[in-house]
A and B are shown apart, each in its own frame.
Chain A
Amino acid sequence: MPIIKDHKTDGLPFSDSPKLKARNVNVFYGEKQAIYDVSLDIGANEVIALIGPSGCGKSTFLRCLNRMNDTIEICRVDGQILLDDDDIYGSKVDVVPLRARVGMVFQKPNPFPKSIFDNVAYGPRIHGLVEHRDELHEIVENSLKRAGLWNEVKDRLHAPGTGLSGGQQQRLCIARTIAVDPEVILMDEPCSALDPIATAKIEELIDELRENYTIAIVTHSMQQAARVSQRTAYFHMGQLIEVNPTDLVFTTPQHSLTEAYITGRFG
């Protein structure tokens, strides 16, 4: 049962120029319901932060957006999620091209145990984005540049990606994601395993990426949400409590639960 009966999300869950639209999404793990009736828009070229205490369903919701939840057998998703008005849970949708359009960066840096070059080149290769080696080189170089990693690795592109530091590995994973040229990037606590300096670099990068991509980021750090996002969505026990412009959420939260969370009374 949801903790608040018949809750309607406070604030502004909808956007004028939505890239992704979630409508009445319910997620179940077997018998247990993890998400209750969430409706949310993610606007084009915006960074939206999903915050909330552990187990509130923010990661689960994020993973619905590129159907990564499909890998969990007992997981069932109800409701509609539209990417540019196409239902991504439609019966004819293949998850492979969907995930090429909606990329994902994970909590723990997870480069393949291959060279830096092959890590970034993998996506373009499997999707057949390039015809010649030169093109591939170009994509790899551009992706690494956009991820702010090029200068650090340009001399050792054929060294294993796993030999990089944690922060570099995470930027490599971001480069790998943008090499496929997705429209949306989902980030699941991308900085939780990184030190403050590496975190600062990634946050800077997110800010730059906003020009070209739509980004949804799950984070445990309220400072991070405040720094990188334009809108913030607060999840609580599987319900979407409030969505508002970030500065509003952190100064004058609308809902008492949001206020309790950002003032540190739980979480």
Chain B
Amino acid sequence: MTDQQLTTRAKVERSMTRRRRAEMRFRAYGVMSIAFGLLCLVVLFSNILGQGLSTFRQTVLEVNLHIDGDALGISRQSSEAEISAADYETLLKNFMREKAGATSRDDRRLAGTLVSVGAPWQIRDAVLANTDVIGDHLRLEIIMDDDVDQWYKHDRDIGQPGRLKDNQIKWLESWIADGSLHTRFNTTFFVNGDSREPELAGIRGAIAGSLLTMLVTFLLSFPIGVAAAIYLEEFAPRNRMTEIVEININNLAAVPSITFGLLGLAIFIGLFGVARSTPLVGGLVLTLMTLPTIIISGRAAIKAVPPSIREAALGLGASRMQMVFHHVLPLALPGMLTGTIIGMAQALGETAPLLMVGMIAFVVDVPNFISDPATVLPVQIFLWSDSPERAFTERTSGAIIVLLAFLIVMNTAAVWLRRRLERRW
């Protein structure tokens, strides 16, 4: 009897070492996979932030420009059209040559290319805003060319010339010494639309396009998705037809997104003649893509409502619709909203289907309405990543940072909403 007990105990003890080791191993695998995930995240963020953060600084030259009314052929009484048409480019070029002290033909050319091609418009806008400066001096921070910008932000620290000539660097160094050349917050990046010149390119157009597209997507996919989820979960008869619909919805969630783009191209543009490149058609396509996500999460949320609540309502003589709208929906709404926001976040980051409906076009103007040509943030990123200029590489990362910020805000909102609206029973 005692022998038997001892051997059983001994057996258990012996197996314990093995079990403990297996458990330790399993835990170690878990820790390792988490660590790997975190490492990837750190690499991603440090890479993007390292490349992109400099986007938010912009190199400018502080100047005190004499707006020579005679040379420009305008006076304070001139009309807006006349002031707009004046030749600020020559004015600026002459000013730069003088400031650089350039005399030779080569030097004069080099001095002129230091500033952005957008700088003359900057002067024009400033003059238009305040005509009193005509014949007087205008203080202005002039945007520098992207080559200067890149040199100042990156190459100068490591002693490289970048794409600049020795003379140009000499002038720039002297301006840095007297404090007129410096960096400031890159407002251009946030107030401009796209441009061929990196120093003038901004994401405002893409953000406006994204917001308009998201608006269309939300307004269509939320009501349709919620209604479909409610119908399938609460009203649809359980038969073959419903089953087929369910299987198809679940499959749609796994369809490659570019397929939805092709479908949108064929149906919305081809059949219904919706204008291409617009937030309207983009939103329609993204609605198709988001619907399965919303329907599936909506159904899960409805399923999670305890049947006892339904019985209570029906037992009191509530109609099916009253049961759904008074009891099931309020309890399921937080889950539905979370699903919707996650679906919207997915749609916000989507590129492929939008390429198919023409949202890849080069659009400079900021769209104001859902029928204006537009592009969206991820497509803007895609476009810039294809450009050869170094400054565009920087802007690509900058735009990615903005996109990630939007996504983080949306996901945080989803979590917050869920916590906020969740009711316990």
Query: What is A's interface to B at a CB cutoff of 8 Å?
Result: 66, 68, 71, 73, 95-100, 103-104, 106, 108, 110-113, 122-123, 126-127, 162, 173, 176-177, 180
Contact = CB atoms under 8 A, between A and B. Distances in A.
B424 A162 contact: yes
Contacts of B315: 66, 68, 99, 103-104, 106, 177
B332 to A, nearest CB: 12
Interface stretch (B66-74, B124-132, B317-325, B405-413): B317-325
A99 B423 contact: no
A95 B315 CA distance: 10
Interface stretch (B253-261, B271-279, B306-314): B306-314
A104 B424 CA distance: 24
Nearest to A108: B308
B316 A126 contact: yes
B327 interface: yes
Given A112-B309, A113-B331, A122-B326, A177 B424 contact: no
Interface string B264-303: 0000000000000000000000000000000000000000
A129 B152 CA distance: 79
Contacts of B425: 111, 113, 162
A111 B238 contact: no
Interface in B68-86: none
A106 B312 contact: yes
A71 B314 contact: yes
A96 B319 contact: yes
B238 A73 contact: yes
Those 7 A-B pairs whose CB atoms lie nearest each other, nearest first: A99-B317, A110-B308, A100-B317, A104-B315, A113-B425, A110-B312, A123-B316
Nearest to A66: B315
A27 to B, nearest CB: 18
9 contacts: A68-B315, A100-B316, A103-B315, A106-B308, A111-B312, A122-B326, A126-B316, A173-B312, A180-B317
B396 to A, nearest CB: 49
Nearest to B310: A71
A123 B317 contact: yes
A98 B424 CA distance: 31
A71 B314 CA distance: 9
Label chain A's interface by main secondary structure. Answer: helix
Given A99-B316, A113-B424, 4 more contacts: A66-B315, A95-B317, A106-B308, A122-B318
Contact of B317 (A97, A110, A113): A97
A113 B309 CA distance: 9
Contacts of B308: 106, 108, 110
Contacts of A97: 317
Contacts of A100: 316-317
B65 to A, nearest CB: 69
A161 to B, nearest CB: 9
Contact of A68 (B306, B311, B326, B423): B311
A97 B314 CA distance: 11
Contacts of A108: 308
B237 interface: yes
A98 B322 CA distance: 16
B242 to A, nearest CB: 11
A117 to B, nearest CB: 15
A163 to B, nearest CB: 10
A173 B309 CA distance: 11
A224 to B, nearest CB: 21
Residue of B309, B312, B315 with most chain A CB atoms under a 10 A cut-off = B315
B314 A99 contact: yes
Contacts of A126: 316-318, 322, 326
Contacts of B331: 113
B78 to A, nearest CB: 71
A61 to B, nearest CB: 16
A176 B316 CA distance: 8
Contacts of A98: 317
Contacts of A112: 309, 312-313, 327
B69 to A, nearest CB: 75
B316 A110 contact: no
A124 to B, nearest CB: 10
Contacts of B314: 68, 71, 99
A174 to B, nearest CB: 12
Contacts of A176: 312, 316
A12 to B, nearest CB: 29
A95 B319 CA distance: 8
Contacts of A127: 317
A106 B311 contact: yes
A214 B333 CA distance: 39
Contact of B316 (A73, A162, A177): A177
Nearest to B331: A113
A99 B326 CA distance: 17
Contacts of B316: 99-100, 103, 122-123, 126, 176-177, 180
A65 to B, nearest CB: 12
A68 B315 CA distance: 7
Nearest to A113: B425
A143 to B, nearest CB: 12
Nearest to B308: A110
B331 to A, nearest CB: 7
Contacts of A95: 317
B272 to A, nearest CB: 39
A111 B313 CA distance: 10
B240 to A, nearest CB: 14
A73 B237 contact: yes
A182 to B, nearest CB: 9
B312 A96 contact: no
A95 B327 CA distance: 19
A64 to B, nearest CB: 14
